[in-house]
Structure 1
Amino acid sequence: MTPTRLLCAMALAILPTLALAGPITVTDITGREVTLDGPADRVILGEGRQIFFAAVLDGEDPFRRVVGWRDDLLQAAPESYAQYAEKFPQIADIPTFGGFKDGTFDIEQAVALNPDVMILNLEAKAATDEAGYEDKLAKVGIPIVYVDFREKPFEHTAQSMQIIGQLFGKEDRAAEFNAFYEKQIARVTDVIETQPDLDRPLVFVERAGGYTEECCMSFGDGNFGTFVELAGGENMAKPFIPGTFGTINAEQVIASDPDQIVVTGGNWDAYVPGGAWIGVGPGADEFEARTKLAALMERPGFTGVAAVEKGNVHAIWHQFYNNPYSFVAVQRLATWLHPDLFPDLDPEATLAELHDRFLPVQYQPGYWVSLDTATD
Structure 2
Amino acid sequence: MSPFRYTGSLAAAMVAALVLLMIAAGCTGTGTTGPTVAPGDTNRTASITDGFGRNVTVPAPLESVVCSGSGCLRYLVYLQGQDLVVGVDDIEKKEQAIEGRPYALAYGSQFKDLPLIGEFRGKDDPEKILAVNPQLIFKTGSSGTAYGTSAAEADKLQEKTGIPVVAFPYGSLRNDAEKAEMYGGLRTMGQVLGKEDRAEEVIAYIKETMADLERRTGDIPEEEQKAVYVGGISSAGAHGIISTEPAYPPFLWVHAKNVAAGLGTAHADVAKEAIVDWDPEYIFIDVGTTQMEGGGAIGELKNDAALQGLSASKNGRVYGVLPYNFYSTNYETVLADAYFIGKTLYPDRFADVDPTEKADEIYTFFLGKPVFSDLNGQYGNLGFTGITL
TM-score, shorter chain, exceeding 0.5: yes
Distance apart, 1:253 and its partner CA: 0.6
Q: How many residues of Structure 1 are paired with residues of Structure 2 in the alignment?
A: 327
Q: State the partner residue of 1:14.
A: none
Quick check: 2:46–2:59 contact (8 Å CA) kept in 1?
yes
Q: 1:183 is paired with a residue of what secondary structure? A: helix
Q: State the partner residue of 2:345.
A: 337
Q: Map residues 283-362 of structure 1 onto 2, 5 A cutoff.
A: 294-300=298-304, 302-319=307-324, 322-325=329-332, 326-362=334-370
Q: State the partner residue of 2:113.
A: 92
Q: State the partner residue of 1:288.
A: none
Q: State the partner residue of 2:267.
A: 245
Kindly provide the CA deviation profile for residues 261-284 of structure 1, in whole angstroms up to 9, marking residues without a partner as x: 112233986xx6x6625xxxxxxx
Inter-partner Cα distance in structure 2 for 1:346 and 1:159: 32
Inter-partner Cα distance in structure 2 for 1:177 and 1:107: 31
Give the AA of the match of 2:220. Q
Distance 1:50 1:213, change over 3 A: closer
Quick check: 1:264–1:316 contact (8 Å CA) kept in 2?
yes
Quick check: 2:90–2:120 contact (8 Å CA) kept in 1?
yes
Distance apart, 1:193 and its partner CA: 2.4
Kindly provide the CA deviation profile for residues 159-218 of structure 1, in whole angstroms up to 9, marking residues without a partner as x: 432222123221111222222222222211122223354622222111447966754111
Quick check: 1:34–1:145 contact (8 Å CA) kept in 2?
no
Alignment gaps of 5+ in structure 1:
1-16, 278-292
Inter-partner Cα distance in structure 2 for 1:125 and 1:152: 15
1:117 paired with 2:122, answer no
Quick check: 1:34–1:143 contact (8 Å CA) kept in 2?
no
Give the AA of the match of 1:228. F
Inter-partner Cα distance in structure 2 for 1:160 and 1:23: 17
Inter-partner Cα distance in structure 2 for 1:205 and 1:261: 6
* Range that drifts further, 119-128 or 173-182: 119-128
Give the AA of the match of 1:191. R
Distance apart, 1:305 and its partner CA: 0.9
Q: State the partner residue of 2:67.
A: 45
Quick check: 1:204–1:260 contact (8 Å CA) kept in 2?
yes
1:167 paired with 2:186, answer no
Distance 1:372 1:76, change over 3 A: closer
1:369 paired with 2:374, answer no
Give the AA of the match of 1:371. G
Distance 1:126 1:363, change over 3 A: closer
Quick check: 2:242–2:269 contact (8 Å CA) kept in 1?
yes
Q: 1:341 is paired with a residue of what secondary structure? A: helix
Residue number among 197, 205, 220 corresponding to 2:246 in the alignment:
220
Q: Map residues 191-202 of structure 1 onto 2, 5 A cutoff.
A: 191-197=216-222, 199-202=224-227
Q: 1:344 is paired with a residue of what secondary structure? A: coil
Distance 1:209 1:173, change over 3 A: closer
Distance apart, 1:331 and its partner CA: 1.8
Inter-partner Cα distance in structure 2 for 1:347 and 1:228: 16
Distance 1:191 1:213, change over 3 A: closer
Q: State the partner residue of 1:180.
A: 205
Quick check: 1:75–1:268 contact (8 Å CA) kept in 2?
no
Give the AA of the match of 2:317. N
Quick check: 2:238–2:289 contact (8 Å CA) kept in 1?
no
Distance 1:36 1:226, change over 3 A: same
Larger relative contact order (CA 8 Å, sep ≥ 6) = 1
Inter-partner Cα distance in structure 2 for 1:305 and 1:204: 11
Q: State the partner residue of 2:56.
A: 35
Give the AA of the match of 2:189. I
1:254 paired with 2:254, answer no
1:276 paired with 2:300, answer no
Inter-partner Cα distance in structure 2 for 1:353 and 1:213: 29
TM-score, with structure 1 as normaliser:
0.72
Alignment gaps of 5+ in structure 2:
1-33, 38-43, 377-382
Distance 1:247 1:358, change over 3 A: closer
Quick check: 1:208–1:217 contact (8 Å CA) kept in 2?
yes
Inter-partner Cα distance in structure 1 for 2:132 and 2:84: 14
Inter-partner Cα distance in structure 2 for 1:124 and 1:97: 22
Q: State the partner residue of 1:137.
A: 157
Kindly provide the CA deviation profile for residues 53-81 of structure 1, in whole angstroms up to 9, marking residues without a partner as x: 3223227xx24324223516753852644
Which of structures 1 and 2 has the bigger CA Rg? Answer: 2
Inter-partner Cα distance in structure 1 for 2:272 and 2:217: 30
Q: 2:320 is paired with a residue of what secondary structure? A: strand
Give the AA of the match of 1:84. Y
